[in-house]
A and B are shown apart, each in its own frame.
Chain A
Amino acid sequence: MNSGELDILLVEDNQDDMDLALHALKRGKLANNIFVARDGEEALDFLFCRGRFGHRSFDHPPKLVLLDLKLPKVDGMEVLKQIKGDARTKTIPVVIMTSSKEERDLVAGYNLGANSYIQKPVDFDQFRETVKTVGLYWLVTNQPVPANGAREVAVRR
């Protein structure tokens, strides 16, 4: 994993979900530059370039964060809150991808600034389709905020 261009930060503790998600992304030809954080703490360290990721620079944020809510150590909502609460990271698109579609989670997610909220479909075909759609939208269709004016947006297929 180089420290340069990064497309997606996948925050997922469950091995099965991770594999299925990566499979789906791969099918959608979106899996080239993915980093997977296995808990909330790791995700935050990664995003705020600290601890293990001290060498990382804020110049190269991920173009999309796919965030699960049920996470060990620091849960998804807390991660979302910190991302959206910091000027350096708040422009990063965060899509909540979770099993729950409880109303209170939806409301809380959007209130904290989530850009999108997706319930993982039980049906695998639907799941794959959803993941592909989301990835394409945020990585290809959407125009991100120009960061420091220097970074070039690399589009890979």
Chain B
Amino acid sequence: MGFYKHLLSPDFTPHGYCYLWDPGMVWLHVISDGLIALSYYCIPLILIYFIRKNRDLPFNRIFWMFGTFILACGTTHLMEIWNVWHGNYLLAGVVKGITALVSVITAAMLIPLVPKVISLPGRIHLQEVNRKLEEEVSARKWAEEMRGHLSAVVESSDDAIISKTLEGTITSWNRGAERVFGYSSAEALGKSMRMLLPTDHAKEESDILASVGRGESVNHFETVRVRKDGKKIDVSVTISPIRNSSGVIVGASKIARDITEHKHAEQALKNSLATSEAALRELADQKFALDQHAIVAVTDVQGTITYVNDKFCAISQYSQDELIGQNHRILNSGHHSKEFFQTMYHAIANGKVWHGEIKNRAKDGSNYWVDTTIVPTLGADGKPRQYIAIRADITERKRAEQRVKESLATSEAALRELADQKFALDQHAIVAITDVQGTITYVNDKFCAISQYSKDELIGQNHRILNSGHHSKEFFQTMYHAIANGKVWHGEIKNRAKDGSNYWVDTTIVPTLGAEGKPQQYVAIRADITERKRATEVLAGQAMELSRYAEELSTSQEALHTQTLMLQSVLDSMAEGLVVADEKGKFIIWNPAAEKIVGLGAADVPSEEWTKHYGVFLPDTVTPFPSDQNPLLRAIHGEVCSAEMFLRNAALPEGAWIEASASPLKNKDSVARGAVVAFRDITQRKADGREIQKLTDELEHRVVERTAQLETANKELEAFSYSVSHDLRAPLRHIGGFSRMLVEEFGSTLDPTARHYLDRIQAGTQKMGMLVDELLALARVGRQALNRQPSRLTSVVEEVVAILQPDTEGRQVQWVVADLPVVECDPVLVKQVFQNLLANALKFTRPHADGNALAQAPAPRPRTIIEVTYKEEDGRTVFIVRDNGIGFNMKYVDKLFGVFQRLHRAEDFEGTGIGLATVQRIVQKHGGRVWAEAEVGKGATFYFTLAAAKQVESKSDGATAGGQS
């Protein structure tokens, strides 16, 4: 008693003192212990529930121990809480002791259990076991079923099926056995098989059992047995050994068939043979009837015809004699394949009846169709002995079929064509067909693609399923009205796809009209124009935005102010006069330039007095400008116009010309709000124009005059040169002629001085003749038109060299002529150029007998070299003629090309002084130029070009010649 008292009395200091009654510490311990206790109490409760639910759980006891152990642990924690305030440490120690005891026992119980727990099967192992079990069950089931089936078969069999032991004791007896032998299964089971043996067959059973015992089977053994009622029956017996699962023969099965009936039938047949005559007659009657209706033939197994009836002959057109003995192939039309006949022969050779349609060929080669049944007649061995073929003529039917086939083929082709067209259409267009109610009956793939519906979703639906709601009711009404009246409708429709997005299609709906002219269905062919529409919408959107911006801008006060200021400064600074009037003709703007040009400012006068007030006149400068023609007034009335006016008023006594252009002013709603006129003073321009006109007229007049003068001069020149050529030469000839005659006829009587004078006269006339010729040539160059053509200058030079050949006599002259290019020029004139230049070169390289000339030459020139070459310079071809002659002093170079200009004395070198002038004239006529370089005693080089230089070089013409000195 003292112990219990002691046990419950709180003699010790409560644990809270250890925590110094710090509330955080106290409550940490209390709450933690509380939660642990709560959990410990819950766990055994769950365990108990678990054990109760799984009654077959192994190791039941250990679970109970666990429950107790955890409960005890929970209690120790409750004691901890209690002791925070009470200090009942003895009670707590007892609880702890109990807990320790329970835990030790649990642990001790657990140790021997460990190997058992380990050996418990895993989940996968269990599944495998389960599967095997299931397999076994299903195999078992199958066996059961099979047994069921087999016993059903055994039971239902008409044959007696009996099993027996090796001793002959009956172990099973089916219904067939009951029927065949008359014993019920109850009567037969356990009895010996011997009871069925007739006395004369008594030994048979032991023989059978012996052979079965050896594992042999007995097949279709015909014998005799005795029924229960003592009647003997013929049976066919099959006996097989029965083995147990280890293969040991434990008995035999016996199948016995009652063949008494069969035997009787045989007997009956024999009997009927006796009455064969009657039977045959009957058969003949039947055959006759058959012959009347059918085409009959009999062949042997080789196919040789042994019998044909009249109808056969009629259809095949062969006589009986022609057919019998022939192989049936005689009628083969070749229409059927080899396989066809193989199939047929295979069937009938195996004793089966064959039925089919065959195309045969008649004697005249025509074909006929027969519906054919071939019946093999079997011999006693079960093999066909002969074949009886019974046929019916189906040629007409076949023909009809053929016709049908043909027409089908035609329509098929048409259908195929339609299908092709449809295919083509399907590839390109979105096609749908609806009935008159708008129910979709057909859509193609493209339709499905664009609408996002499948065919199944669309077909049977009303077309409204795609309505986007974009179009008005009237729009569809108009469309339906058109197509319902059989008209084709065309338009653009916005439809809604399955996902709610819209798309645009260019749509043509064609109604298909029925016989009475009313639409039966509508075929809609569409093209996707969504992109196009979208682009248009985007554009429209942009336009809207732009106009909004424009509006924003115009409503912006600041912008307006800036603009006004800017406009004002423009108005003030512009040189043109600018006047704005409102719709009533009241001036709103009149800029400084306007005041300066008109001489007057804006006046508040009615528009009909403008002409008078500002002094406006028509271009005739005297008629007052009609008010209704005033550009500003016309612009106020909406016209864009311009006019030339003359102004003369008090401020402008001299008058002024103005050019005015006016346009109406409109607000943004296009309502006329007045007009603007811009004008400028064109007085000076007018004056200038008149002056220019006068000058032009004068110039033209002068040109005409000059041209006429020039033409006259040209004619005169022509006449002059003509008369020079004719008249000037005649006297020369006369002088020369008569002086010559004088020398010839009176020479002997004249003294030497007189003869010398006469020689001088001769020389003079000759030189004069040459001068005249060359002058005329020079004049001709001026007058002649150029005859340009591609010319090979090498040949031109060669011709000239040939002409000059006589002048080289007695001299050593080396001509060096390069391969010159083909150029566009007048070859006759260019030949003259080369002739003059080469003749000069030849002349000025000539050695002199004359002492005077020799004295001037620095050294004798034994060998003459004359070169003709060319070079490309600045895109032009420069021709070069170079000699190693006496040359000339470059200070006289400017005289070189003048007429009658000579750089040498006539005594030294003959010449007229016209040659180089002619050269220059010809070269210039070609648009080229000629120049020369030389040094006294070192030869001269002449250069010329024929085409005009690309750069204008006329001013450097002389400078070039001079600058190269």
Q: Which residues of A does B touch, CB under 8 Å?
A: 14, 16-17, 20, 23, 70, 98-102, 120-125, 127
Contact = CB atoms under 8 A, between A and B. Distances in A.
Interface string B715-748: 0000000100111011111101110110000000
B937 interface: no
A16 B734 contact: yes
B725 A102 contact: yes
Contact of B734 (A17, A98, A121): A17
B726 A122 contact: no
B730 A17 contact: yes
Interface in B176-213: none
A14 B741 contact: no
Contacts of B174: none
A98 B727 CA distance: 10
B765 interface: yes
Contacts of B766: 122-123
7 contacts: A14-B730, A98-B726, A102-B726, A120-B733, A123-B766, A124-B737, A127-B733
A99 B729 contact: yes
B765 A122 contact: yes
A123 B730 contact: no
Nearest to B784: A103
Given A17-B730, A122-B765, A123-B769, A102 B736 contact: no
B722 A122 contact: no
Nearest to A119: B729
B740 A122 contact: no
Interface secondary structure of B, over-half rule? helix
A98 B350 CA distance: 137
Given A120-B733, A122-B733, A123-B766, A101 B725 contact: yes
B725 A100 contact: yes
A100 B719 CA distance: 12
B733 A100 contact: no
Given A17-B730, A23-B741, A99-B730, A123 B725 contact: no
A127 B740 CA distance: 11
A18 B730 CA distance: 12
B727 A99 contact: yes
B505 to A, nearest CB: 86
A70 B726 CA distance: 9
Contacts of A127: 733, 737
Interface centre among B727, B737, B766 (most CB of A within 10 A): B737
Given A100-B725, A102-B725, A124 B740 contact: yes
A124 B745 CA distance: 14
Contacts of A101: 725
A100 B725 CA distance: 6
Interface in B757-772: 765-766, 768-769
B785 to A, nearest CB: 13
Interface centre among A23, A124, A125, A127 (most CB of B within 10 A): A124
Contacts of A123: 736, 766, 769
A20 B221 CA distance: 171
A125 B726 contact: no
Nearest to A104: B722
Interface centre among A17, A99, A122 (most CB of B within 10 A): A122
Interface string B920-964: 000000000000000000000000000000000000000000000
A20 B734 contact: yes
Contact of A16 (B722, B729, B738): B738
A20 B740 CA distance: 11
B727 A122 contact: no
A27 to B, nearest CB: 10
Given A20-B734, A23-B737, 15 more contacts: A16-B731, A16-B737, A20-B737, A99-B726, A99-B730, A102-B722, A121-B733, A122-B765, A122-B766, A122-B768, A122-B769, A123-B766, A124-B733, A124-B737, A124-B740
A120 B736 CA distance: 12
Contacts of A120: 729-730, 733
Contacts of B768: 122
Interface centre among B733, B734, B765 (most CB of A within 10 A): B733
A156 B365 CA distance: 119
Contacts of B740: 124-125
B362 to A, nearest CB: 104
Contact of B729 (A20, A122, A125): A122
B736 A124 contact: yes
Interface in B150-186: none
A98 B726 CA distance: 8
Contact of B733 (A23, A70, A99): A99
Nearest to A98: B726
Contact of B732 (A100, A122, A125): A122
Contacts of B730: 14, 16-17, 99, 120
A52 to B, nearest CB: 28
The 7 A-B residue pairs with the shortest CB-CB distance, nearest first, are A122-B769, A124-B740, A16-B734, A124-B737, A100-B726, A20-B737, A99-B729
Contacts of B765: 122
B32 to A, nearest CB: 146
Contacts of B722: 100, 102
Contacts of A98: 726
A143 to B, nearest CB: 32
Contacts of B725: 99-102
Given A122-B765, A122-B766, A124-B740, A20 B733 contact: yes
A127 B722 CA distance: 21
Nearest to B736: A124
A17 B726 CA distance: 13
A102 B784 CA distance: 13
A122 B736 contact: yes
B794 to A, nearest CB: 28
Interface in B46-61: none
A34 B591 CA distance: 105
Interface in B762-821: 765-766, 768-769
Nearest to A15: B734
Contacts of A100: 722, 725-726
A122 B740 CA distance: 12
A121 B722 CA distance: 16
A20 B731 CA distance: 12
A45 to B, nearest CB: 25
A145 to B, nearest CB: 32
Contacts of B731: 16
Contacts of A125: 740
Contacts of B736: 122-124
A120 B737 CA distance: 11
A33 to B, nearest CB: 23
A17 B738 CA distance: 10
A101 B725 CA distance: 8
Nearest to A20: B737
A123 B729 CA distance: 10
A123 B727 CA distance: 16
